Amino acid sequence: MKLYIISNRLPAKACKEKNGTFIFSRSEGGLATGLNSLKTTDEKHWIGWPGICVDKKEDEQIISEQLEKLNFHPVFLSCDQYKNYYEGYSNSTIWPLCHYFFAYTEYKNCFWKAYQEVNALFCEKICSIVSADDYVWIQDYQLMLLPGMLRKRMPHLRIGYFHHIPFPSYELFRILPERGEILQGLLGADFIAFHTHDYMRHFISAAERVLNIDFQLDEIQIGNRVIRVEALPMGINYDLYHSVSENPEVQKAINRFQNLFGNHKMILSVDRLDYSKGILHRLWGFSLFLEHHPEYLGKVTLAMVIVPSRDQVNQYAELKTKIDEEIGAINGKYSTIDWTPVCYFYHGFSFEELAAMYFVADIALVTPLRDGMNLVAKEYVATKQNNPGVLILSEMAGCAVELTDAIQINPNDIEEIEQAIVKALEMPEREQKNRINHMQAILSNQTINKWAADFMTEWNDICSKNQRFRLKRIVGPVISDIRSRYKHAHKRLILLDYDGTLTAIRNRPEDAKPDPELIELLQQLAEDKKNHIVINSGRDHLTLEKWLGQLPISFAAEHGAFYKENGKWNKNIQSTEWSPSLLSTLKLFVSKTPRSHLEVKDTALAFHYRQTDSWLGALRAQQLTNSLIKICLQQKLQILQGDKVVEIKSPHCNKGSEVNRLLQKDHYDFILAIGDDVTDDDMFQALPSTSVTVKIGTASKNARYNLTAQSEVIPFLQALIHRDLFQQKNLDRKENIFSIMNFFKKLLPNNK
């Protein structure tokens, strides 16, 4: 078994020398650094762009041969592809949107086409080398279409995805023209994770509203798969950073920096060039500090390291110019012969030099306007070894959730930055060490390896759940067994839910009328004298009678409050006289919830919110439930939360009580029950363990089998009675039906 890490870039990049040879060096960036240090028992491979565009196939072959010695598998892109995919859609469309810089977002059709093309190239590369037992872990926003593409090519492949940047709120994400395609691409993964619960919440909200789907807490079923979403903050290689000062090369650099800065207090700022990092706000805050606190002039130096990034993008080039001007203004105003307020480094440093800076710095100023995680803050804290230091941290950074002992500030407030610098400089050494120790205790536990292990554990868990889910699917030998038991039974009880089982769920319940095909199927089932057909539904009995009353079948309506046998309706409980307080509460919530409505039955009340905004509907359902608890306890009523409905009914009748009544009256050697809702679990639980219980949609622990969609129910029932199994219209109902239809096509004799 192998683990394939898929990212935009490989951890190593190729560079062509003048003599035509290629040299390879380490790629910059927290993702490559973090994942390179991750330990795993699996054989680890990496797929990504090698950092260079080449035109010749022989150059591609040379680069591939060198990189594959390291288990790195390059995906080659043309210059135009890379420009439009990476600089274009990834960093001029997605990046600013996810970081809440909507004004910087650029939309061009060529960007989107290149993004699709490159994701498809990654898909081709992966499919050419992975096997079905491998793990494919996709990293970040440049490859959001890839999970869905892979799922289509390799349906049972284990696919994980981690989003390393912020995921914006629905109100912002909905602006993206391709929002639906992006979300569908991500949902091709088995497991999707984000750094914080905020990002996780935003993703779920966007998926529910854009795709009109419903998560059950952190999971959603799509087709025959369950997808899980979680928040897992990425860590660092804590031991590496915490012991780094013992490295002789690092110790030399520490001595050099200590001599350079002398008695000056050193404030360290390390960033990639990006407008999301809040670099200008940081400089404005530092300038304000120097202006208002002249007692620190000549005593405090801001060492600002900015790693070049995307200089060719207009916004970045303009930002670089503004930063240069601001630093020039500060240094021009406050510099002396022996002191420069801002030491500016527009280049990267080696690991040893950067670690030495962390160790020496009295203060780390990490103030992004928006950041997915920010590992610089964690690296700074980890590097300290009984030496003081203060972390000033933006509350907009993902790591702020963990590093609560930092001085947290709003990065947009330059006065707060100024005050935080003063507070840090005046903080007693004992308090500094206590804060550092508290944060180190967290970081030493939440390491890069724990992050990866947690991801793999959750990922394996949901893959195992999907495997169990697949075992419940009614395919292959399972169908043969059910059909055989049906064929040889002498007396059969067939219990069928209505909405979501025999018919699809409709936004308007009154639109779920049975079609001629369903009527004919029920008629065929009822004509078999061995069959006792019962529609066991939450529907009111008048509607069921109107739609299906002409058929020679039995009914249980309103969760067993009414039942019909031998052509006669019976009532198990008296009609309820609803109290004014109960009705007024329900009507209040209907008025507060656009597109909801109240259904009044003889023995139940139902608040329907299927057409309502998903977030608002869930909120109102919970609020309504909370509001009704006291009233329902007093009146001895039951509150039942179903699929987009809150129902108030008598506790004495449910779908299980109707099953008990039927089983007491007769003995059956074959029982089939099919339902799609939580209320059907009462029916499943009341039946003998030998029964064929089938849950539609999400698999249930109370049902032995599963059909993934309502559209599979009719073909399944038709298969039991050998009727019209192979009509093309049934095959066209939904892609998932093919497993049932094709099996029976092979199973039945040619003359059938």
Domain 580-649 in the same topology as domain 2-231:
no
Categorize the per-residue pLDDT at 743 as very low, low, confident or very high, splitting at 50, 70 and 90.
very low
User: Average per-residue pLDDT in the chain?
Assistant: 89
Categorize the per-residue pLDDT at 75 as very low, low, confident or very high, splitting at 50, 70 and 90.
very high
| 472-573+652-747 maps to CATH 3.40.640.10 | no
Categorize the per-residue pLDDT at 731 as very low, low, confident or very high, splitting at 50, 70 and 90.
very low
Please tell me which residue in 134, 274, 362, 497 is annotated as part of the active site. 497
Beta strands 562-565 and 554-557: pairing type? antiparallel
CATH of domain 238-446: 3.40.50.2000
Mean predicted confidence (pLDDT) in 334-338:
93
Is the pLDDT at 272 greater than 50? The verdict is yes
Determine the pLDDT at residue 722: 67
Determine the pLDDT at residue 677: 84
Is the pLDDT at 253 greater than 90? The verdict is yes
Asked if 497 is an active-site residue, the reply is yes
Mean predicted confidence (pLDDT) in 400-423:
96
Lowest mean pLDDT among 69-83, 101-115, 429-443, 714-728: 714-728
Determine the pLDDT at residue 657: 85
Contacts of 731 (CB under 8 A, 6+ apart): 737, 738, 741
Q: Is the pTM of this model over 0.85?
A: no
Is the pLDDT at 725 greater than 70? The verdict is no
Class of domain 2-231: alpha beta
Is the pLDDT at 649 greater than 90? The verdict is no
Higher-pLDDT residue of 531, 722: 531
Categorize the per-residue pLDDT at 33 as very low, low, confident or very high, splitting at 50, 70 and 90.
low
Higher-pLDDT residue of 360, 24: 360
Categorize the per-residue pLDDT at 32 as very low, low, confident or very high, splitting at 50, 70 and 90.
low
The distance of Cα 115 from the centroid of its chain, to the nearest Å, equals: 21
**What are the sequence ranges of the domains in the chain?**
2-231, 238-446, 472-573+652-747, 580-649
Categorize the per-residue pLDDT at 724 as very low, low, confident or very high, splitting at 50, 70 and 90.
very low
Categorize the per-residue pLDDT at 749 as very low, low, confident or very high, splitting at 50, 70 and 90.
very low
Categorize the per-residue pLDDT at 575 as very low, low, confident or very high, splitting at 50, 70 and 90.
low
Is the pLDDT at 260 greater than 90? The verdict is no
Hey, which residues does 532 pair with through a beta bridge? 493
Write the DSSP string, 392-411: EEETTBGGGGT-TTSEEE-T
Lowest mean pLDDT among 37-46, 642-651, 713-722: 37-46
- Residue-wise pLDDT for 274-290, tens only, equals 999 999 999 999 999 99
Is the pLDDT at 726 greater than 50? The verdict is no
**What amino acid is encoded at 128 in this protein?**
S
- Residue-wise pLDDT for 157-179, tens only, equals 999 999 999 999 999 999 999 99
Categorize the per-residue pLDDT at 644 as very low, low, confident or very high, splitting at 50, 70 and 90.
confident
CA distance 675 to 657: 15
CA distance 290 to 330: 9
Q: Which CATH architecture has domain 580-649?
A: 2-Layer Sandwich (3.30)
Is the pLDDT at 730 greater than 50? The verdict is no
Determine the pLDDT at residue 21: 83
Q: What are the DSSP E strand ranges found in 650-738?
A: 670-675, 692-696, 705-707
Q: Which of 327-331, 592-596, 711-715 has the highest mean pLDDT?
A: 327-331
Is the pLDDT at 12 greater than 80? The verdict is yes
**For 213-270, what is the HEC assignment?**
CCCECCEEEECCEEEEEEECCCCCCHHHHHCHHHCHHHHHHHHHHHHHHCCCEEEEEE
Q: Quick one: CA torsion of 742, 748, 749, 752, rounded to 10 degrees?
A: -100
Is the pLDDT at 463 greater than 90? The verdict is yes
Cα dist from 464 to 3, 228, 355, 378, 461, whole Å? 17, 12, 41, 34, 5
Q: Which element (helix H / strand E) includes 465?
A: helix 448-471
Is the pLDDT at 723 greater than 60? The verdict is no
Mean predicted confidence (pLDDT) in 48-64:
90
Is the pLDDT at 38 greater than 80? The verdict is no
